Structures are given as structure tokens and as C-alpha cells.
Amino acid sequence: MIITFGSINLDITFPLDHMPKPGETVLGKTFLMNPGGKGANQALAAACAGADTAMVGMVGDDGFAEEALCLLKEYEVDLSQLGKSDLPTGCASIWVDQGAENSIAVASGANLSAKSTQVPDSWLTPDNRLLIQMETPIEENWKLIRRAHEKGCPVTLNVAPARYVPLDILKMIDLLIVNEGEARTIADGLDIDSEKVTRLPRYLAEKFGMKSVLTMGGAGSIFFSPDGGISTPALPIAPIDTTAAGDTFVGYLGAMLVAGKDMEEALRYASVGAGLCCMKAGSQSSVPIIEDVEAKLSSLPASKVIK
């Protein structure tokens, strides 16, 4: 099972001709309202990939909650440990320009009430995988990672949005996933050259014996473990909206690893899933199902082993 501890939001997306400058108003034609939040996006992606999935987090006692949870319910994600907060359901305003780049402002709301104790010890087993991001209270993340480590449950930490990760926590992570900006934050925390982020996965593998993935958008991803590295290309596409692409990558990767696939194959599923996500506007509504991903696997160029 994939256990996702993280944020649950309602996303309001504005397609715009260009990003507003300070003091500028940009008029758009319409908007999209979509369930979102990095935690919920990753849980949905894992469920779409065929994994038994649980989502643990908090929503408010308001009308946004039902909208934020609708797709998780549709894909039968386990919400038994979901909590209800006095704070409003999290909400994100997403601006997407004609080049498919986005800027996001988030009101965390109920996500700030999430507690690591919501995840039962009985779920933290070696056969399951815990997915954590950085949109819930940071100390609750660290408490949960420590518990999972003690129980032998592998942890995937997606350092999004970028935050400092203490050294003792890094040593408890099974798999670290970062984009280039997030990699710089990790590198700065380790006092290594943050201008050469493509070297970070190899450094983490050699220094801490850990597995890590650096995602680079259209340039694909780089993975390293103590056993070596893999360069996985991106799916050749013309993106429409990159929102939730990173979360789709994380969710698909976790689901494929729980399903028993090796890292090279799991990375290919994740890369295709993220690419297809970019072909639709919106957040969770753009996450592809497993059948669509498998149909496009042959379109992905070959991966390369890195010595």
C-alpha cells in the first residue's frame, strides 16, 4: 500500500496570456476548479497507477472539502484516517501562461493541522511505502519519518516546496525526490556546490548510501543509488500545463516500486505519467490512468545506465 501523508487543497487555475507583473492585472477567459494539494495529487497518481492507496491529512468543515476529495473518493483511496480541522480547507491559486509554466500561491488552511499520529503504526510495514511532501507541518513530517524508519517502512520524501532537511532525517530516507530548485536547497544544507545540482544524486548515494532522483522537466531525470545511476528521458511532448506533473511522477514511481518493478522500469512509468499529465490543463484531473501510461511506454526513448 502507498500511504500518503500530506496536503489536500482545492485548486483554482487561471490560464493567462502571460504572468502578471507586480501591480498588473491580466484578464483571462475562464478558470478551472480542481482538487489538488501535493499530497492528494500524489495519492491520486498512485491510485491511478493501480496501487492500494491511503491519503492521510486534514480538510476543513466547509464546502471546499467535498470538492477537494471527490477524485480520491472516485478512485477508492482510503480516507479512513482523514481529519477535520477548524481551519478552512487548503486552497491554491494557480496561474498558467501560454508556455505551460505556472506560478502558485497556497493558503495552507487545514493542512497546518495535520498530525503524524493520524498514521497508524499498523500501516508502517516493510511492504508499504510512505510518501511525504513539504506542505504539512515540518516537525510532523520528521516525527512520522522517524516512526516509519523504526518500523522498517520505506519512505519517499519529495522536498516540495523546497525546505531544509536535517542530516539525521536524510539518513532515514529510502528515496529522495527533488527538482533542480529543491536540489539546490538540499545542496546548500550540506555545504556542497549548489550550482552543480546534477551531481547531487551521485553525492547522496556515495555519502549516505541512499537513493535519490533529480527531475529536470523536459530533460528527464537522473537517479542514483550505491549500485549506480540511471538517466531517464522525458516523454517528447508539447506541454499544455505542467501543474501536478511532478506529483504524478512521485505517485507513479511509488506505485511501481510497491508493485515490485525494478527502479529502471518504475522510472519509465513515472516519466511517461508525468509527460501525459502535462497534456491536460488542471491538477488532479490531468493525472493519467495506468492504461494510458502503458500505451505510451514504447514512445519513451531508451534509458541510460550511468557508471
pLDDT of residue 247: 97
Q: What is the structure's pLDDT at 100? A: 83
For the chain, report the end-to-end CA distance as a whole number of angstroms. 32
Nearest Cα residue to 297 out of 281, 278, 274: 274
| 136 phi-psi bin (left φ>0, alpha ψ -120 to 50, beta other) | beta
For position 193, what pLDDT does the model report? Answer: 78
pLDDT for 99 equals 86
pLDDT above 70 covers what percent of the chain? 100
At residue 1, the pLDDT reads 97
Which cell numbers hold the place of 21?
Answer: 507583473
Residue 247 known to be catalytic: yes
Count of other CB atoms within 10 angstroms of residue 14: 19
Per-residue pLDDT at 207: 87
For residue 8, the model assigns a pLDDT of 98
Question: What is residue 283's predicted lDDT score, i.e. its pLDDT?
Answer: 85
- 207 versus 260: which is more confidently predicted? 260
Mean local confidence (pLDDT), 12-38? 93
pLDDT tens-digit profile of 55-108?
999 999 999 999 999 999 999 999 999 999 999 999 999 898 988 888 889 999
Confidence of residue 196 (pLDDT cuts 50, 70, 90): confident
What is the per-residue pLDDT for 243? 84
- Sign of the Cα torsion 79, 38, 66, 85 reads positive
State yes or no: pLDDT of 195 exceeds 80. Answer: no
CA distances from 179 to 78, 88, 124, 250, 270 (A): 28, 29, 27, 11, 14
120 pLDDT exceeds 90? Answer: yes
Count of Cβ atoms closer than 10 Å to residue 127 Cβ: 9
- The Cα 283–Cα 37 span in angstroms is 9
| Catalytic residue from among 11, 127, 247, 292 | 247
> In this predicted structure, what is the pLDDT of residue 281?
82
- Rounded to 5 degrees, what angle do the CA atoms 106, 288, 258 make? 90
Could you give the angle at the alpha carbon of 265 between the alpha carbons of 264 and 270, nearest 5°? 100
Check whether 282 has a pLDDT greater than 90. Answer: no
Written in H, E and C, the secondary structure of 271-295 is: HHHHHHHCCCCCCHHHCCCHHHHHH
Question: Is the predicted pLDDT of residue 265 greater than 90, yes or no?
Answer: yes
Rg (CA), the chain: 18
Q: pTM for this structure?
A: 0.93
Report the length, in residues, of the chain. 307
Q: Which helix (DSSP H) or strand (DSSP E) does residue 64 occupy? A: helix 63-74
Q: What is the mean pLDDT of the chain?
A: 95
Give me the percent of the chain exceeding a pLDDT of 90.
87
Instruction: Report d(CA 221, CA 306) in Å as an integer.
Output: 12
Report angle CA 157, 261, 265 to the nearest 5 degrees. Answer: 85
Please report which helix (H) or strand (E) contains residue 211, including its range.
strand 211-215
Residue 258's pLDDT band (cuts 50, 70, 90): very high
As its CATH architecture, domain 2-21+31-306 has 3-Layer(aba) Sandwich (3.40)
Tell me what pLDDT residue 102 has. Answer: 83
Mean predicted confidence (pLDDT) in 9-22: 93
What's the pLDDT score for residue 67? 96
List the chain domain ranges. Answer: 2-21+31-306
Cα separation, 181 vs 177, in Å, equals 12
Please give the residue that has the higher pLDDT: either 82 or 192: 82
Mean pLDDT of 24-30: 94
